[in-house]
Structure formats: structure tokens, C-alpha cells
Amino acid sequence: MQVFYTVHSGDTLFQIATRWELPVDSLIAANNLLPPYTIYIGDQLSIPPGVTTIRVKEGDTLFKLSQYFGIPQSIIIEENNLQPPYIIQAGDLLNVPPGVPYYTVQPGDTLYQIAKRFNVIVGGYINPEPIRIVNQLQTNVIYPGMQLKIPYTPPFVSGIIAYTSNRGDGYDIWLFYPSSGKKVRLTNHLADSFSVPYWSGDLRKIAFVGRNNILYVVDLDDGNVAKIDQFETGLGVFLDWSPNSQKLTYTENGEIVLYDIILHQAQRIREPAATDVQWFPNGDELLFQAPDSAGFSQLYRINTNRLEKRLITRNTEGRLNNVRLSPDGAYALYTTPGASISIIHTIEIATGNTVEVSGGPLAKNYFPEWSPNSLQLAYSATAFEDRGYYSFIRSSGRIGENDRTWAISDCFATPVTWSPDGRKIAYLSGCNDQGTASEMWVVDIKHPAPIRLLEDLKITSLQWSPLRKSIETWKTYINNTYKVKFTYPASWIKVSDERFEGLNGFFQISAIASDSSINEVCHNEAFHQLMPYGSQPKINQAKIQNQNACFIYPSSDQRQEMKGQSALIVTYPQPIKINEETYQYFILWADKGHLLKIASTLTFI
């Protein structure tokens, strides 16, 4: 339930927020206050969770503390189970809650007005019904002086949160639906305290390392659970799904593993001490951390086919931990050097430019995660160690700008996760000095009033489902001049009779007149003096419609303005004539992400 503080003489929003170390914006949002944010003596304010533990100083008394915090002595006495004569000693830790767990009805109040003021929203709309139900009211009629409990209500958001919880009979992976509050147990005693759920991009599967350090994949369509691998220890294993949701990558025994969950085949790349391996959006390259020849921790990128490895960082200091690639593949983040001091850095992949994120007051910043649009990162920052377990829920821009606190957890550190729309951050709290969370919260960075989503016995991790990758619809392209037919993404727009473009790719066609062999033609195209495919393109021989053909793929140093251009050259079944010129070969240029699929539909007419 929400907790309420009564405004006293001399109070300001800033002073009230400072007493419990709250962001002022959070206090404003929790009460839906409007500019100029004026408050009056006797107003009741809903107080978001803050830092409620203090360490008693020499000369403190219950009376002095109650005067400073503006709450009755009885609240402090009851919260700390103090006994007469209520003596407190310097160095004692006291819990000082910001008020009482009820709102006192004022003249003129209605349930609807109270619901609107304190964010009681159901399905995206203000709804007083949860207040009526929790207070067991027979009607919506209320009277001045009534004491009403005001519940938190689930926000109206998309997506599903997968989390790990122990409800007394073993750890499992659960699903929580924020909009309805529904909980579903996904596994049967297969998880462990260290288990972290990882969603596939198509939202059809969840992978995690569970009991006995086994890697499991749960199919959400039919509930089947597959055992994929087993580790020496499951703690700290990081998993990442390929962009097409077909492969999992992770590190094991000095190797990068690419496991195809459909073919049940594994490709292994030898990289001693590699960690944090993950896919670039193109599906052809991986990012990972590994030591260089001098033993310094570095970030690398590697092509999964040609195994071309490139150094990204020039680190000469501590280890790079918690490496995470931004969804658009343009930036990476990491923490360094370790647990006692953990500073977040971001690096621009293309240039190597590195920025330090300011972070929390103690330089203990944990669990950084990118927003879906790659423009922000969220993390938890440990604070107030002398007053118990607390951490700030913070976000920053990708070059360290706008670094700020949105909410407070009473855990030393908490994993965080972004909603699919990138507007909300979910996190854990309710540690109660035990170190393990029992509550899940969410804060909307556009309206930062923290909302409690659920309470459970123990919650150790959480991950919000990502935006479902849209399925492209395709249409047929026919060109009677070049005698070809194939399909292409329907969203692409015609630029000319021979070229179509879209936000995610392109194709263009032409023909080649040459008496040379297919091998020579392919070589001449791939190694053109202007290097359209980079300095080391790859040529793959193939058969298309039973005709000799080749695919040309660019090397990693292809110029960015080429937009990933690749090519397919095919021998015509019969040479064609265009404007009296005879052509022996057909050529299709396309971005490498679409070339194979377009080529698979190619026919000659």
C-alpha cells in the first residue's frame, strides 16, 4: 500500500524529498502535482519508497527525530519495536518511515479524485474500483475522516516479464503480465538462485542456466523444455540469441559456442578466457571480451564465417565486465575494474571513443542494460552503505549525458530491465537486510512514480520481453527486359525499374556482357578497383536454377555508404539481348541481410 506524509509548517517538496533521499520528480509524479508545485499545511502526500534507515547521532532523541522528519514519535517507536523508556543510542540504526499506510479522506473528496491523484490506474484509465475493493467498501460513498488504504495498480504496458523466484519449493522461471497482474510458472523445479531468463527475439523461447548448471531452452508455444549443455558452474553465464532466434551463443571451456537449437549442432571458436559473447544485429559477427597477448582485458569483434577478429578497445587497466552491445550494434558498455569499484563506460564501436558514465555516489554501479532504441542505459548504483542496503535506479544517455536517479531500491544492487517501448524500467526491491529481493517495481521515466508490480518470496532476476521483430511481407518483382522474377520485401519503394530501396535494405539488377568464365567474371566484380566490397571480399561458388553462379560477400572494411552491398552473378540459361547487345550473365546487388532470401526465389522467364 502507498504511504502518506502530512505536510507541516515550513515544508517544501525539496525538503520532504531530501529527508528520504527521493528524486523530487518522483515525489511530484506520485501525487500528480502541477506547476508551480505548491503544497499546503495539512496536505497528504504519497511518498515513494526512499531511504528510511538512519544512524543515530550523538544528541539525537526520538522527539528531535520526529520533529525533523515531521512524523509522530509513535510511528518510529512502532516501526522499530522500541520498548519503554524508548532510549536510543548513538550508532543505532533506526527505520523512519515517511508516514502512515492510509489516506485520510478530506471534505469534498471522491474516490475518483483520490484515484486520479495517486495513480490508481487500470487498463490505462483512472479507476477507483481497486480502492473500493481493498477497503471493502459497499459503495463509492466516502466521508471525511475515513482512513483509506491506497493500493498500487499494475501499469498498462505491453510485454511480459520473465523472472526467477523461489516460492518455497525450489526456484523456477515465472512469467508476469504487468497489465493484468497474472503470474504463470513456466518450469518445474529446474531453475536455481543464479538463473537469468533470456528471451529470444521472436518471443517464442526462453533460455536459462538452471539446476545442476544445465542450459535449458523453454518453448513457450508448447511448453517443452530442452537440455542444451552443461557448465562447470552456472553462476555468471551470459547467453545471447542470434537475430533470427535460431542460435544461442555463450562461452565454455575457453571456446565461443554457437548452438543451433533447430539443427542441434554447435560451432565452436577457440578463444581462451572469452566472456560476454553476443551477436551484432547483422547476424554475421560477434562481440566478446578476452585478454590480449599482454593479459589486458579487451573487446573484440569476430566474423563467424571467416573468423576475422578485430580489436575494438586499447585497454591497459582493469578487467572489462558486464559487456553489453547496444541493440543497434553501434555502441557497447562495460563496467570496470571489479565489484568493490564498478564504473560504467560506453564505447562507440566504429571509432573506439570511450566515455565514463558519472554513476552513483559510491562508484558501485551494477547491471547496466541498454534501452531498446540504444539511446539510453539503465543501471543500479549502490548508495548509503552506512545506513543499510540501498541502491539508486538510474539512467544515462549513451555518451554519459543526462545521468540521473529515478527511484530507490532497498537492495544493495538490483538487476534492471527496460519495457519494450523503452519508457519504463523494472527493478527489484524488498531486500529487508537479507540481500534477496521480494518485490518487483517499475518506474516510468516520463512520469516517475514508482509502482509495485508484485511481491513474492524471493526474486533473483528479471527480464522484460523485447519488441517482437516484425515479420516482413514480400511481393513479386518481374523484369521482362532482364528476364527474371523474384520476391522482395513489400515495404521497399521503387527507385527505378531496376532498383528498389527500403529502410532495412535494397536490391538492384543488371546484366554483364562477357566471354570470360563465371569465375573470372565473379573475380573482376569482387575485386573492382573501387573496392565496393572492401579489400577482402569473399566469393562463394553456387548453382542457381541449375546455372553456374557465385555469391560475393563484403569484408569487414567495406565502406559504410555501400550499405552492406553483396552480389549474386548467375549465368543466363540462354544469353539475352538488350538494345542489340548480348549479355551472358545476370547480376543482382542487395544488402547482405536479404541477398540469400531474394536469391532463393530467383527464376528466369
What pLDDT digit, counting tens, does each position of 148-162 carry? 999 998 777 789 999
Structure confidence at residue 432 as a pLDDT band (50, 70, 90): confident
Residue 560 makes CB contacts below 8 A (sequence gap 6+) with none
CA distance linking residue 199 with residue 468, whole number of Å = 10
Identity at 527, one-letter amino acid code: F
Q: Where in the chain is the domain with CATH 2.120.10.30?
A: 161-464
Half-sphere exposure of 342 (CA within 13 A, CB side): 21
Give the model confidence (pLDDT) of 448-469 as tens digits: 999 999 987 799 999 999 987 6
Q: Taken in order 456, 462, 464, 465, is the CA torsion positive or negative?
A: negative
CA distance linking residue 116 with residue 133, whole number of Å = 16
Indicate the CATH number for domain 474-604.
3.40.1000
CA distance linking residue 212 with residue 228, whole number of Å = 13
Give the model confidence (pLDDT) of 565-588 as tens digits: 999 999 999 999 999 999 999 999
Half-sphere exposure of 260 (CA within 13 A, CB side): 7
Q: Where in the chain is the domain with CATH 3.40.1000?
A: 474-604
Give the CATH H-level superfamily of domain 3-148: LysM domain (3.10.350.10)
Residue 180: its pLDDT value, please?
79
Q: Which three cell numbers stand for residue 120?
A: 490508481
Give the model confidence (pLDDT) of 344-368 as tens digits: 999 998 888 999 999 999 999 999 9
Residue 550: its pLDDT value, please?
94
Task: Classify strands 547-553 and 198-199 as parallel, antiparallel or unpaired.
Answer: unpaired
Q: Is the pLDDT of residue 170 over 70?
A: yes
Q: Which three cell numbers stand for residue 450?
A: 514508482
Beta carbons within 10 angstroms of residue 194's beta carbon:
18
Minimum mean pLDDT among 6-10, 188-192, 260-264, 359-363: which range? 260-264
Angle at 212 between CA 207 and CA 217, to 5 degrees: 15
Residue 277: its pLDDT value, please?
97
Residue 469: its pLDDT value, please?
62
Residue 470: its pLDDT value, please?
58
Indicate the CATH number for domain 161-464.
2.120.10.30
Question: How much is the mean pLDDT over the chain?
Answer: 92
Where is 131: in which H helix or E strand?
A: helix 129-134
Residue 379: its pLDDT value, please?
98
Q: Is the pLDDT of residue 472 over 80?
A: no
On whether the CB atoms of residues 528 and 587 are closer than 8 A, the answer is: no
Q: CA of 563: how far to CAs of 82, 502, 593, in Å?
A: 69, 11, 10
Residue 491: its pLDDT value, please?
86
Q: Where in the chain is the domain with CATH 3.10.350.10?
A: 3-148
Prediction pTM value = 0.77
Minimum mean pLDDT among 38-42, 243-247, 304-308: which range? 304-308
Residue 168: its pLDDT value, please?
65
Residue 471: its pLDDT value, please?
55
